[in-house]
Amino acid sequence: MPLFIKDDTTADLVAQLAKERGTTKQAAVKQAVQAELTRMARTVPLRDRFAALRASHPLPPRTGQAADKAFFDELSGGL
């Protein structure tokens, strides 16, 4: 199935990539799309990155103290 690029800027970018790689426009598009798909497949979802971060840096245990206005006022010198 043919792919028609109707946007001049996109066509220019494809031509530039093909020229720099010393290949055809078709090959440049194929390589660029494959590289992006590979990059996306390697991307770790944000949820998984946060889970790994929390596992490697767990929160300290609860102290049982209330962190209310009086607590913060005492930390800042009783302002």
Note whether residue 73 is domain-resident: no
Three-class SS of residue 75? helix
Phi, psi of 43 (to 5 degrees): -70, 130
Number of domains in the chain: 1
Indicate whether 19 belongs to any domain. Answer: yes
Does 66 fall in a domain? no
- What lies within 8 Å, CB to CB, of 3 at 6+ separation is 29
Do residues 15 and 29 make contact, with C-beta atoms less than 8 angstroms apart? no
Q: Provide the domain limits for residue 37.
A: 1-58
CA 61-67-70 angle, to 5 degrees, is: 150
% residues pLDDT > 70 (the chain): 97
What pLDDT does 75 receive?
86
Q: Please write the tens of the pLDDT for every residue from 36-74.
A: 999 999 999 999 999 999 999 999 999 888 788 888 888
The answer to whether position 9 is within a domain reads yes
- Asked if residue 50 belongs to a domain, the reply is yes
